[in-house]
Chain A
Amino acid sequence: MKDLEFFRNISIGQYSSGDSLLHRLTPATKYLWLFALSIPGAVGGISGVAMVLLLALCAGRGAGIRPAFLLRGVKPALPFFVLAAFLQFLFGWPGDHSAALFTLGPLSATAREAAAVGMAVARTVALMVLLGVFTSITSEGEIAHGVEDLLDPLARLGLPVHRLALVVSATFRFIPVIAGELESIVKAQASRGADFGTGKGGPFARARAYLPLIVPVTVRALERAEVLAEAMEARCYTGKDRTRWVVYPKVRGEDAIRALALVFCAAAFAVDALLR
């Protein structure tokens, strides 16, 4: 990564407005599909994960989001994949009698370990792409309102649903904010000789270059959060007794689309079971 443009490589949290069918669905439906796809993505077998990934990419395509953009969003997670593989190969599994693939010093890989690494990577990729599609078609406001709508029954039992919704939307809101701050601080330090994006040094030297970032990025994120909290408070926000101004009309056939989400989830597991 020679250029220090972090925002470009983050596909989660970048809403792009549009008028596709996917964009027009109510937030509650978008959440339903998010769950319907992420359950087989997280716990299903390889066929379920593959279906989820494929469907997410196709849905993104339909909403005008390029697959290349979604897949590039996985790039920042690559070091974690390497780390996971390293740990997996360092420690053996008790009772693992599968074929040994290679041995490299203290590392030894077996077929079972390799499969486990592959599955973990596939799951992460599928879920990241899915979240990328979701946040591309769902604005921050919809993210918050969707949580409110879904959890509405619980609000009647006295749960602070609105606050929960706010926490969810603030989290998504701060992903690009923190990426922006990180970019600015990395640039400030790179121009003073910190080793970023120069393609030099071993993995440890590169990891060490990130240490001076932790304090300023955390401090800036907290400062920005505090300013936002003040601005909200100054506009009478208390989290209680609010009117909600925005309502989302259902598109035609929205109920069927919701039902389809459940069907898909069940079908993914059924296909998995058949193939096993």
Chain B
Amino acid sequence: MSFISLEGVGFTYPESSRAALKDISVSIGEGEHVAIVGRNGSGKSTLLRLLDGLRTPTQGRVEVFGLCTGDGSNLPAIRSGLSLVFQAPVDQIVSSVVEEDVAFGPENLGLPRAEIKGRVDKALRAVGLEAERKSPSLFLSAGQQQRLAIAGALAMEPRCIAFDEATAMLDPEARKDLLGRIDELNAQGMAIIHATHDMSEAARASRILALEDGRLVFDGLPGDFFFPGGSGLPAPAERLGFGLPPALRLCRELGIEPRLGESLERLAARIAASGAAIGDAYGAASMSHNDGASHEAPRPAPGEAGDPVGPAFALEEAGHSWLRGTANERVALRGVSVCLQPSSLVAVVGRTGSGKSTLLQLLDALAFPTGGRVIAFGQDTLAKGTDLRSLRMRAPLCVQRPEAALFEPYAADDVAFGPRNQGLAGKALVARVREAMDKAGLDYDLFRDRGSRGLSGGEKRKLALAGVLALDSEALLLDEPTSALDPETREAVMALLAGHAASGRTVVFATHSMEEASRADLVLVMRGAELVASLPPRELFHSAYDPAWGIARPFAAAMAIALAATGIEIQGQPLTLGELVSGLKGSLAGDGGRAKEGAG
């Protein structure tokens, strides 16, 4: 009897003509740690739903613990042994009180009350939420809510937990915490199935399944996935377009042996140990600059474009409270003062709930300061006589998950909503919509008449972006524009933003990715409703960095610090892999030269 097995499994959603999964045959053993990788819409979530019997295959057979998922009477046994943790933390909470939510599964199993209590206590202890057991579950942070979801799963005492992109909506700290807990559970013998499109996360598993367009295109060890085989072909991860985790890319660039799951410190030590060899090998090594940042067109320095004008946005001691005057009042911003120059790319970073979204809403006059002032394009957003409608259109905000706000049945009509409100019509309107859609990466001729609800997740996000681009505004505000996207679509969105800023507009975006933040001209760090730093990324992530901010460093910066600890000082405070490698080249060539002299 196998633990989990799929034989020739195919699945087509009833409302779709396209198969979501095609001819999948695979088996997973007890205690394995399997990562399922694939782009948005490749079938990862569908596969997990088939395992749990939430969906039954339209072809083939799924067996879990030797039980067929197609037989409804098997489902309680399957679901109590295999738990699912979903992507959106808040959407999987059933009860309003933490401990009651954990008890929900055991209650459904009809267990005696004393046993439920024991299981709830144990599960809460395992995820470190004992102190919050009586708290309202909706007021937990996103990271805590995801831990609550795990507690709910653990209370079922399962043999396997499947995570469906469970880290996609978390900030870096919460993500690190969750990944640590996943490893811990696996070490205790729990089988883990982890669907993700983050290659660093996938590299932690002991086996990788890759899906492309509903087909299983790779099943094997992470080493075979990330390292090139003997045949001279690139590694499957690259061939299939997933890319490599940054540490492995660095190893390849330096021509040293790649190792999975290696800490930055160990890697730094290895680089230091083989320093001279790297310096020598360097001339032959090919350097591919696919870092994005190094490719971008040089931007006019912020504030230099055009006539000398005032800042695009200025906040003066601005504060904001949500639910003011209610029992649940929450201070979201406190005493924030900052000036944002025209034609600059500004990143806003900080943990979940630190005030990023509120800040963006104040800039767009969608929320108003409850203390201090917000000046957008020289106008006080609270002043009488401010034309809010036109002010908002000068700096439209792309809200989180903007695809939720699509409403026109046809793609091009949705994009046209903004320009129509600006008074455009006829040829000018069509031209504007065409330009915006093309810029967002949706070919106008191909997509204009497509149904907006039938698009894939990534396409919907691009359509929503086209909708704000179509306003051709002086500034653009975006709340986590790349969240939950696969790496390829992420890169497309970031290139779009950088290009937009390069054309002389102000772009302000919130993000959890420090790699993205390091591409900005200015980074604002929020912590607990306060602005704790506003600096160019090079300074922010190197000399001024403070771990108390609760944000990580981009890989290149963190690596440079680790290398510095081994005695290799890298010039120029690198932020991208390209900069790191050329910096290393510089310092190792120097060291290598000295080493040779010494040997001679």
Contacts and interface: CB of A to CB of B under 8 A. Distances in A.
A230 interface: yes
A213 B68 CA distance: 43
B407 A139 contact: no
Interface in B90-122: 91-97, 100, 103-113, 116-117, 120
B100 A141 contact: yes
Nearest to A234: B84
Contacts of B106: 243, 245
B520 interface: no
Interface string B364-404: 10111000000000000000000111001101111111101
B421 interface: yes
A7 B75 CA distance: 39
B80 interface: yes
Interface in A55-98: 64-66, 68-69, 72
A236 interface: yes
B407 A191 contact: no
A227 interface: yes
Contact of B327 (A64, A230, A242): A64
A110 interface: no
B91 A231 contact: yes
A141 B322 CA distance: 25
A34 interface: no
B110 A242 contact: yes
Interface string A215-252: 11001100010011011111111100111111000000
Contacts of B328: 14, 16
Given A192-B393, A193-B418, A8 B96 contact: no
Interface residues of A, number: 62
A69 B388 contact: no
Nearest to B398: A188
A108 interface: no
Interface string B319-340: 0001111111000000000000
Nearest to B105: A235
A244 B107 contact: yes
Nearest to B75: A236
Interface stretch (A36-44, A146-154, A194-202, A262-270): A194-202
A234 B161 CA distance: 11
A245 B108 contact: no
A146 B89 CA distance: 27
Nearest to A230: B54
A227 B92 contact: yes
A73 B396 CA distance: 30
B94 A228 contact: yes
Contact of A15 (B136, B389, B464): B136
Contacts of B113: 243, 245
B436 to A, nearest CB: 12
B422 interface: yes
Nearest to A65: B327
A171 interface: no
Interface in B71-88: 75-76, 79-80, 83-84, 86, 88
Contacts of A228: 91-92, 94
Contact of A216 (B84, B397, B404): B404
A255 interface: no
A20 B44 CA distance: 48
Nearest to B327: A16
Contacts of B191: none
B91 A192 contact: no
Given A15-B96, A194-B417, A243-B110, 9 more contacts: A7-B323, A17-B136, A187-B361, A192-B396, A195-B389, A230-B86, A231-B92, A234-B52, A238-B108
13 contacts: A2-B388, A17-B136, A136-B327, A188-B397, A188-B398, A188-B464, A189-B407, A199-B388, A212-B407, A227-B91, A236-B105, A242-B108, A245-B113
